[in-house]
Structure 1
Amino acid sequence: SDVAAETAAALASASLVFKKTDSTYSSTLLKHAKQLFTFADKYKGSYTKSHPEVATYYNSTGYGDELLWAASWLYHATGDTTYLRYVTEANADKYAKVDGPTWFSWDNKLAGAQVLLSRLSFFGDKGAKGNSGIDDYKKSADELMCALLPDSPSATASRTKSGLIWITKWDSLQHPVGSAFLAVLYSDYMRASDNETLSCGDDSFEPSDLRKFAQSQADYVLGDNPMDISYLVGYGGKYPEFVHHRGASIPVDATTGCSEGFKWLSSKKPNPNVAMGALVGGPFKNESFIDSRNNSMQTEPTTYNSAVLVGLLSSLVNTSSPVKSLNEN
C-alpha cells in the first residue's frame, strides 16, 4: 500500500502540473493515480513485509500516511468528495490521530497531508465548509508550525545549537529541509488567504516568521553552519568531496562490473566526478561532519533530499501568491 499510494500521490500531483499544457497526458496520469490508489486501499499492507530484504535500507513504518497523502492529492486533482471523505471520516481516526507533530520524510507523509489539506480551510473550499475533519488537519498543521518556530512556546527542542532541526543521525538533513519546505508553503497560504496570524499559545506569529525559519534552514544547508561547509555538492567554496556515490567516485573511463567498484570506495582521493546538486546526509547533532565515502550516514546523497530542497529554494525565491484552487489552475 505504501509504494502504490505514494506513486498515486505523485501521479495525481503531476496531473495538475500538466493539466493546462498537455491535457491528454494529464488525464493519463490521473487515470493511473486512481487505479493505484484503489489497489493500495484494497490490498492493504507494507512493502517491507512483502519484501523483507529491503527493510535494512528503507524500512517503511506504515502505510496509513501514504493512503491519506494520495487521497488528499486525488481530491485536489479531481474535486471528487469521495477522496475528501476518505481522509476526514473513518480513515482519519485510524491513520491521522497522532500525539504531537510528525516530521515530513520519505517514510512519513502525514505532515505533508496536513499542510496540503489545510489549503481547503485557508481558501474556503466548498468541501471543507463545516467539515470538522478538515478543521482537525488545519489544527495539526498549526501545531506543527508552532513546533518549528524557534521562539514559539511550543518550539521543539529537536535542534542543534545553531538552530537546525535535527531528528536522526542518519540522513539528518531530510527533516529540516522537509520542515522548512512545509513552513514556507504555510506562510504563503497565510498571506494569500489574508489570514496572517498564527497563534502558538499566548504568542502570535506572522508569515514572515515562518519564512525566516525556512530561510535559516536553507542557509544552514548552503554553508551558514559551524563547519562552514555547503552540504549541497557543487555549491559554494567548500562542499563534500568524498560523496558516497558510485557515479561520482568511479572514473568515467573505468571498466567495472557489479562488484568491482569497491577499490574506489576506500580511495583517499576526492571524487573524480562532482555529483552536482546532490544533497548529502548532513551533520551529527553536535554539528560535526566527516567527509568520507565510507561514512554513508553523512555523505550519501538521496533523491528525496534533493527534490525537497528544490521545492524549498523555489518557494523562497518565488514572490507570487499560490493559486487558491489547484484543480482550476
Structure 2
Amino acid sequence: MDTPRTTYAMTENKPGSKVSAEIAAALAASSMVFYGFDRRYPKLLLRRASRDELIWAAAWLHKATKANYYWNYVTQNIHSLDSVFAEFGWDAKHAGINILPSKFVLDSSLFRPNANKFVCSVLPEPPTKSVTYSSRSVCYIIK
C-alpha cells in the first residue's frame, strides 16, 4: 500500500461507534439510490449495512450486560452476514461472532456449526485448511 495510513484515536468525545453507524447509514441510503437500476447491488449494500462489527459489538455487550436487547440484535442479524466462517480480522468478525455466542448458548445450532467449521479450519491437516498455524495449535470442538 503506497498511500498514507493516518491513525485516528477514539475518545469519550469521539467514540468509534459513530463511524460504524455512519457507514451503515451510508450503505442503507445507497441501497435506495441503486434500487431502480440493479436488484442485486442494493441487497448487498443492505447486508453490509448490518455490519459484522455491529453484531460483534452486540455479542460482547450481551456477554457483559446480559441485556436481552443485545442478544436479540445478534440473533436477528446473524443471517445478514455472508456465509464466510473462516475469517477473523480487522474487517471481518464472522468467526468471532459464531465462536463467542456458542460459548454461552451451547444448545444453539445457530452459531455452533460455523464455530466448529472455523476451529477445524485452523487445525493441522484439516480437509479445508485456510490459515497457517504454529506447532502449538490446539483445537477445542464445541459440543
State the TM-score, normalizing by the size of structure 2: 0.57
2:75 is the counterpart of 1:94: no
The AA in structure 2 aligned to 1:85 is N
Query: Per the alignment, do residues 41 and 117 of structure 1 end up closer, same or farther by CA in structure 2, a change over 3 Å counting?
Result: farther
Distance 2:128 2:64 in 1: 34
* Paired amino acid for 2:72: R
Task: Measure, in 2, the Cα distance between the counterparts of 1:115 and 1:44.
Answer: 27
By how many angstroms is 1:86 displaced?
Answer: 0.9
**2:55 is the counterpart of 1:68:** yes
Residue number among 123, 128, 136 corresponding to 1:155 in the alignment: 128
User: Percent identity between the aligned chains?
Assistant: 27
Tell me the distance in 1 between the aligned counterparts of 2:91 and 2:23.
21
Larger Rg: 1
Structure 1 counterpart of 2:78, one-letter code: A
Report the equivalent of 2:17.
36
2:120 paired with 1:137 = no
Which residues in structure 2 correspond to 1:1-329 (within 5 Å)? 36=17, 40=21, 44-45=25-26, 62=48, 64-89=51-76, 91-95=77-81, 97-98=82-83, 100-122=84-106, 134-152=108-126, 154-156=127-129, 158=130, 165=132, 187=140, 195=143
Q: Which letter maps to 1:70?
A: A
Q: Could you tell me whether the CA contact under 8 Å between 2:86 and 2:121 is conserved in 1? A: no
- CA deviations on 1:99-131 (whole Å, 9 max, x unpaired) are x53311111111111111111134xxxxxx6xx
* Structure 1 residues without counterparts, runs of 5 or longer: 1-6, 8-28, 50-61, 123-128, 160-164, 166-175, 196-329
* Superposed CA offset, 1:258-299 (max 9, x none): xxxxxxxxxxxxxxxxxxxxxxxxxxxxxxxxxxxxxxxxxx
Query: Which residue identity lines up with residue 109 of structure 2 in the other structure?
Result: D
Cα separation, partners in 2 of 1:116 and 1:41, compared to 1, 3 Å:
farther
C-alpha displacement of 1:66? 0.5
The whole-number CA distance in structure 1 between the counterparts of 2:66 and 2:22 is: 19
Query: 1:326 maps to what in 2?
Result: none
Structure 2 runs not aligned, ≥5 long: 1-9, 31-47
The change in CA–CA distance for 1:41 and 1:69 in structure 2 (over 3 A counts) is: farther
Q: Is the 8 A contact 1:114 1:141 kept in 2?
A: yes
Q: Secondary structure at the match of 2:89?
A: coil
Looking at structure 2, the residues matched to 40 and 145 of structure 1 have their Cα atoms a distance apart, in angstroms, of 30
Label 1:41 to 1:143 Cα distance change in 2 as closer, same or farther (>3 A).
farther
- The offset of 1:141, in angstroms, is 0.7
Match of 1:270 in 2: none
Change (3 A) 1:144 1:42: closer
TM-score with structure 1 length normalisation?
A: 0.28
Question: Residue 84 of structure 1: CA displacement?
Answer: 0.9
Within 2, Cα distance between the matches of 1:144 and 1:74? 22
The structural deviation recorded for 1:42 is 9.6
* Whole-angstrom CA distance in 1 between matches of 2:94 and 2:122: 16
Measure, in 2, the Cα distance between the counterparts of 1:109 and 1:145: 14
The C-alpha deviation readout for 1:177-231, integer Å capped at 9, x for no partner, is 8xx9xx75x63x85xxxx5xxxxxxxxxxxxxxxxxxxxxxxxxxxxxxxxxxxx
1:121 maps to a residue whose letter is: V
